[in-house]
């Protein structure tokens, strides 16, 4: 995958207000996502009430909000796991082709097949129309990307929780997707593993330049990783905030902490003005 040359901003002061998509490298296959008036109801329950969003190719978007705000439903619709009740959804890469089928997801649980070796699990990400030896070589490359080269022959049950989630990430990345959806992928990990996984996610995203949509309830994770944070509240976009800081970001940055505070206030504010 070639990576389009880009300018890296030296400090936040250099960054323009909202031209986020130029801050980061954009991968060749990265797709832009457009949502128009997207709605979803389960029975009489309106989970999404008209979402309008444009996510430029290569952008890292975090979607946060309280439980039940519709963020997971939004991700499931993006992945084609659920159909929207109303509205439109478009995926479009630089060549103008619809690449929804090429989108990949990492779930909260690794969801590895326990009866396949680590390498074979990654091969699952390439589909079954590919030559087995080519697929295995691709899997080995993806595993070295997530620093698990020495575990290719192990069973998933022999790995730690963080390692399993890295295998799941390798499985998602092995097909070089234009869009990577992440459904609270680090939610089940301990704090230290989570931080190293954040660094890993950030690094592979910068290298490969896919469009990333991260659903999380961890505000600091969202601020640390994303170009843009969207707060969902009762099925609507309550806040759409740009985080124009250069990557990689350091934990404990004062500007980021301030943004984190604003986002927390926005999420909790709807609770009755704390």
Partner 1 sequence: MSTFDTPIGRALTERKTVKAGFRLSRPARATLLPYLVPVAIIAFWQLGCSVGWISSRIMPSPADVARAFWSTTLTGQLPHDILVSAARAFGGLLVGGSIGFLLGIANGVSKVSEQLTDTTLQMLRTIPHLAMIPLVILWFGIGEESKLFLTSLGVLFPVYLNTYHGVRNVDRDLIEMGRVYGMGSWTLFRKVIFPGALPSIFVGLRYALGIMWLTLIVSESIAASSGIGHMANNAREFMMTDVVVLALVIYALLGKLADVVARALERRALRWNPVYQK
CB of 92 to partner 1, least distance (A): 20
Closest CA to 56 of 25, 86, 15: 25
CB of 102 to partner 1, least distance (A): 9
- Does residue number 89 form part of the binding site for partner 1 (CB under 8 A)? no
Question: Which residues, at least 6 apart from 139, have a Cβ–Cβ distance to it below 8 Å?
Answer: 119, 120, 122, 123, 125, 126, 152, 170, 174
Pick the piece of the chain touching partner 1 (CB under 8 A) from 45-53, 55-63, 87-95, 107-115.
107-115
Give bridge partners of residue 212 from the DSSP assignment.
60, 180
Pick the piece of the chain touching partner 1 (CB under 8 A) from 28-36, 109-117, 193-201, 238-246.
109-117
CB of 237 to partner 1, least distance (A): 25
How many Cβ atoms from other residues are within 10 Å of residue 28's Cβ? 18
- Does residue number 29 form part of the binding site for partner 1 (CB under 8 A)? no
Q: How far apart are CA 15 and CA 170, in angstroms?
A: 32
- Does residue number 4 form part of the binding site for partner 1 (CB under 8 A)? no
- Does residue number 104 form part of the binding site for partner 1 (CB under 8 A)? yes
How many Cβ atoms from other residues are within 10 Å of residue 63's Cβ? 28
Residues 42-81 that bind partner 1 (CB under 8 A): 79-81
Max Cα–Cα distance, the chain, nearest Å: 59
Question: Which residues, at least 6 apart from 87, have a Cβ–Cβ distance to it below 8 Å?
Answer: 35, 36, 37, 38, 39, 50, 51
Pick the piece of the chain touching partner 1 (CB under 8 A) from 7-15, 124-132, 210-218, 224-232.
124-132
CB of 104 to partner 1, least distance (A): 8
> Can you read off the two tokens belonging to residue 18?
């909202």
**Judged by CB under 8 A, how many residues of this single chain contact partner 1?**
21
Residue of 43, 96, 127, 252 interacting with partner 1 (CB under 8 A): 127
Q: How many residues appear in the chain?
A: 274
- Does residue number 128 form part of the binding site for partner 1 (CB under 8 A)? yes
State which residue, 96 or 127, has the beta carbon closest to partner 1.
Answer: 127
- Does residue number 125 form part of the binding site for partner 1 (CB under 8 A)? yes
The gap from C-alpha 12 to its chain's centroid, in whole angstroms, comes to 23
Kindly list the residues in this chain that would bind partner 1 in the complex (CB under 8 A): 79-81, 101, 104-105, 107, 109, 111, 113-116, 124-125, 127-128, 155-157, 171
């Amino acid at each position: 995958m070639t990576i389009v040359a880009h300018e890296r901003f030296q400090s936040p002061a250099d960054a323009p207000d909202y031209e986020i998509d130029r801050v980061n490298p954009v991968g060749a296959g990265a797709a832009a996502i457009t949502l128009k008036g997207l709605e979803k109801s389960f029975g009489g329950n309106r989970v999404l009430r008209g979402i309008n969003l444009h996510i430029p190719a290569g952008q890292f978007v975090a979607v946060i909000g309280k439980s039940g705000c519709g963020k997971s439903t939004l991700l499931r619709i993006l992945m084609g796991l659920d159909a929207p009740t109303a509205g439109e959804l478009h995926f479009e890469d630089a060549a103008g082709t619809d690449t929804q089928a090429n989108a990949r997801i990492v779930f909260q649980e690794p969801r590895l097949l326990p009866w396949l070796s680590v390498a074979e699990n990654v091969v699952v990400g390439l589909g079954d129309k590919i030559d087995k030896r080519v697929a295995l070589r691709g899997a080995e490359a993806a595993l070295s990307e997530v620093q698990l080269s020495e575990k290719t022959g192990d069973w998933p049950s022999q790995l730690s929780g963080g390692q399993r989630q890295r295998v799941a990430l390798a499985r998602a990345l092995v097909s070089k997707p234009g869009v990577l959806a992440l459904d609270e992928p680090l939610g089940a990990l301990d704090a230290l593993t989570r931080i190293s996984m954040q660094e890993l996610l950030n690094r592979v995203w910068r290298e490969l330049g896919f469009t990333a949509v991260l659903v999380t309830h961890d505000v600091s994770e969202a601020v640390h990783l994303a170009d843009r944070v969207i707060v969902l509240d009762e099925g609507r976009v309550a806040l759409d905030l740009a985080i124009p800081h250069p990557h990689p970001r350091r934990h404990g940055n004062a500007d980021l902490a301030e943004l984190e505070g604003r986002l927390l206030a926005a999420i909790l504010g709807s609770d009755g003005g704390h």
